[in-house]
Structure 1
């Protein structure tokens, strides 16, 4: 069907909506079940066996593009058999299918390639209510606007390859920041350069208040997956009514000029669990964990950030949110949690709220960078929580910049209206909190996964802890994030090795923590903690040493108030979680970046730890 030049061709919708059961060449003849993929792309039992990957291995295909970089890679190449009705199964990019499931009514811009040419592709979208925008005869394709829910009908056709009509940007684009923190923490070394781009980072799930996707910080939405809305509390505005999630996502993976985040090329999965005041039901946060685990493969989710904490204190082995994040950890998703903003300069506060109190996940404290590029004036922010959990584990494990951070916030968000004096430019605010230290580490973890996709969460945690720069003060864990060195680690240790013997099969599937066995071991072996958590190799001082506090972890002196007191959380009812209390501090200024000094600081950090070998050389 050929139209006049410049005209759009619209074909009428003649099909009724389909059920969500996916029976096609991509997913197999039945609905999706767990992680088993049986289809022409993956082969049986999830193995990759096809023309692209080869049998049992990966064949790397390199294409050199001089001027443009596609923001979302093409998922496959259509075979060419010269017939529009060939037997080759249709491929639809997994990200499109996931978006269709979450929001079947949204309009998608896609490119449909056909083994039978552009005319065949046009015929196969006939009757689906699609608008053909361009004929791309060069590659036997058409550019189409189509309702997401109609992808299921397309999947029943043969010989098609359906991918996003993704935005493109100049390959000469350079990520940079006017702030000190990306350079001081070393994450800037992982950004890459126009002639040596960074490897593609995996998806980071931001479990928060949603995000404002259509802004320069996220390539105008090109790197943002369809938002998942799980919030039960109201009011909850579309997008990000609070603003907290947008700020967190921008720190983790922003890319606006002058405001680059830790991993500017990472995709973002926003999961909205909060209302417009920053509150959430713990059950909604657990539902977010469930969604991440169910979609970790098709959305390539490797990192999940939780800049929030539960309103109740429990032993980690009894807390439902801790159990949920452990499921993510055992399932291959690296979990980062904020330590909390209830610390005190007078002594340890303890870290008593889920998920930051879980011994498996990486908990992050907030670092104040001072006013210089060196570490001599770095310190832990006075409100950053630290100490032992109720079960005797030292937290946080690491610290990262979190004081006087500038990042994106919607101009209509409640954060903006509550703290107008912290707006530093239209759409940007300066805030402080461990909420914003956590996504720095989330982005650093995404960078490591990009270079080592087969690493486990334990290995990512080990690489970050092994290379942290000791700060020598309470509350910093083993030290401050030093991504410049972490990028060169090849064989990271497992900081959770003491917990591995207590991992067991879960009757509902996957692994679980065997609390009964662990409690029995701890009660009969008082040295277990020292042996497992006091290894001097983690830093100049043991992170389970007495320097954490003179009092026993179970002593009431860990806090002025009882651990069960409502003052630990903004809300007093048990099934409530909240954002990691944003600190709208007055009088501080975000440390600025000076290029020459930052380069010198990075160069001094490139030395690798003893016994480590760089497998991905870093070019400063």
Structure 2
């Protein structure tokens, strides 16, 4: 079969700084796995195709090992590969490997699956609004203002939301002043290349402000959804907003290991892979399911490709996938429509996405610095040098994440499955296609007594099975009193890592932009163009 190439187009100027690559589309159907056999190469079909057509290029891959299998890293090195990081969360590792050796590694007895270590980016909205109005109506649109008025203690301190993104800068709206301690409690950084402190790019700070900004710098005019919650800054990109799947997974590993210590109940991920694939073969989907089963809410942006596909992790059936709505700058639900750029449709595995929508056009939130990349390339969107206007599903997702923080402050005993069911049950139906259950209604979700479960009977990612012929199906009755999920088929000891340490990453020298050269698949297979960012400035 001839390789097919696809391009995401119509991006704005600053998105071209994120990365310049063409999408190698891996149109992978739900693969019907046979029991493990050394005769069958267990790898994404496009990787095997690459090995046949361009055997001498270097491929960045993620290798998932069979649980309890002997190490295969030594064999990978013997074949000319280089281990770049340990991914203990999924019992695997990332590596750079000569393409011709991919079929060899894929037949090793200890290998369960090989995936491309694909770029993970924030996707840009192709038709963004201008900076005409000063503030957003989204607080009223989703009913958060009513929550504040009727239940003022709902936004209490203590609960934390982890923002997996380009970093979060200290900002007055996050409580950072000379008189106050910041609610930006922890910073954990995982990009491979050296980065400046804080958030040079600007995307992550904007997202964090939607979750938790308190309006200090605007006199209360511009606020986030849950202005008293703590923010955990998990930085996974470089200063230009670039990351790969393994960068992201290292950040998720840290959350997995430190969630209890920092009371992390919600993770916001406004980023998507550029490779469309089954959730059964995506290491990123598997990692997020592990967080979900540990009692951590996972909120992801649907992406901004319209009807052109649902990319990991938005395709995972367990997580809450959030699309973007246009509230027309009013609090009147009658004029709300699904934004044309918002990704929608049926995944490769047959699941309809998104699960619901939230406002995603013209959202004003925090600016990390007037020198941030997004500010320099879209200066008309800067407001008072401390705020910025952006659109996309990446600004819709944190509205949902913040609303979940409010809900969990009221009902901390709810597990992720119950929260997802509650939000979908109380969402306001919309006539527009691609709205899922409808528009988020934070007030209704908090005042509801709905006790349903959203994911009963759904199969977990096949990368989490003990063996290829041992499927695991979600059963809501398996939640334990400590807030984690268990089942007779679920061997959590296979996935909990030893004490996490950066020393487990291997001995690869520090990654820089020079690594994206003609010697690697990243530049050989992908040529110059711009990738969409889940949240983007106006053009």
Report whether the alignment pairs 1:287 with 2:250.
yes
Post-superposition CA distance 1:44-71 (Å, at most 9, x none): xxxxxxxxxxxxxxxxxxxxxxxxxxxx
Contact 1:201 1:449 in 2 (8 A): no
1:406 corresponds in structure 2 to: 364
Report whether the alignment pairs 1:393 with 2:351.
yes
Post-superposition CA distance 1:207-235 (Å, at most 9, x none): 0011112423444452111211111135x
CA distance in 2, matches of 1:419, 1:571: 31
CA distance in 2, matches of 1:424, 1:292: 33
* Aligned pairs for 1:68-467 within 5 A: 178-191=135-148, 198-200=155-157, 202-220=159-177, 222-234=182-194, 236-256=195-215, 257-343=220-306, 348-351=307-310, 353-409=311-367, 410-467=369-426
Q: CA distance change for structure 1 residues 376 and 451 in 2, over 3 Å: closer, same or farther?
A: same
Contact 1:341 1:434 in 2 (8 A): yes
TM-superposed deviation, 1:309: 0.7
Post-superposition CA distance 1:152-175 (Å, at most 9, x none): xxxxxxxxxxxxxxxxxxxxxxxx
1:477 corresponds in structure 2 to: 436
CA distance in 2, matches of 1:187, 1:433: 20
CA distance in 1, matches of 2:461, 2:309: 28
CA distance in 1, matches of 2:452, 2:466: 20
Contact 2:142 2:441 in 1 (8 A): yes
Greater C-alpha Rg: 1
Post-superposition CA distance 1:495-549 (Å, at most 9, x none): 11131xx45999xxxx76987566999xxxxxxxxxxxxxxxxxxxxxxxxxxxx
Contact 2:136 2:362 in 1 (8 A): no
Contact 1:337 1:364 in 2 (8 A): yes
User: TM-score scaled by structure 2?
Assistant: 0.60
TM-superposed deviation, 1:373: 2.6
Contact 1:503 1:514 in 2 (8 A): no
CA distance in 1, matches of 2:143, 2:450: 19
Contact 2:462 2:468 in 1 (8 A): no
Q: CA distance change for structure 1 residues 315 and 412 in 2, over 3 Å: closer, same or farther?
A: same
TM-superposed deviation, 1:580: 3.3
CA distance in 2, matches of 1:513, 1:264: 42
Contact 2:279 2:461 in 1 (8 A): no
Q: CA distance change for structure 1 residues 371 and 515 in 2, over 3 Å: closer, same or farther?
A: farther
Post-superposition CA distance 1:149-198 (Å, at most 9, x none): xxxxxxxxxxxxxxxxxxxxxxxxxxxx9531011111223335797564
CA distance in 1, matches of 2:136, 2:316: 31
Q: CA distance change for structure 1 residues 323 and 342 in 2, over 3 Å: closer, same or farther?
A: same
Q: CA distance change for structure 1 residues 233 and 452 in 2, over 3 Å: closer, same or farther?
A: same
RMSD after superposition: 3.0
Counterpart of 2:314 in 1: which secondary structure? coil
Post-superposition CA distance 1:414-450 (Å, at most 9, x none): 1111111211221211110101000000001111111
Structure 2: where are the runs of 5+ without partners? 1-133, 475-521
Contact 1:326 1:512 in 2 (8 A): no
TM-superposed deviation, 1:571: 11
Q: CA distance change for structure 1 residues 356 and 516 in 2, over 3 Å: closer, same or farther?
A: farther
User: TM-score scaled by structure 1?
Assistant: 0.53
TM-superposed deviation, 1:204: 0.2
* Aligned pairs for 1:435-584 within 5 A: 435-499=394-458, 502=459, 580-584=533-537
Larger RCO: 1 or 2 (CA < 8 Å, sep 6+): 2
Contact 2:191 2:237 in 1 (8 A): yes
Q: CA distance change for structure 1 residues 198 and 213 in 2, over 3 Å: closer, same or farther?
A: same
Q: CA distance change for structure 1 residues 580 and 331 in 2, over 3 Å: closer, same or farther?
A: farther
Structure 1: where are the runs of 5+ without partners? 1-176, 522-568, 587-620
Contact 1:338 1:580 in 2 (8 A): no
CA distance in 1, matches of 2:466, 2:382: 44
CA distance in 1, matches of 2:199, 2:335: 36
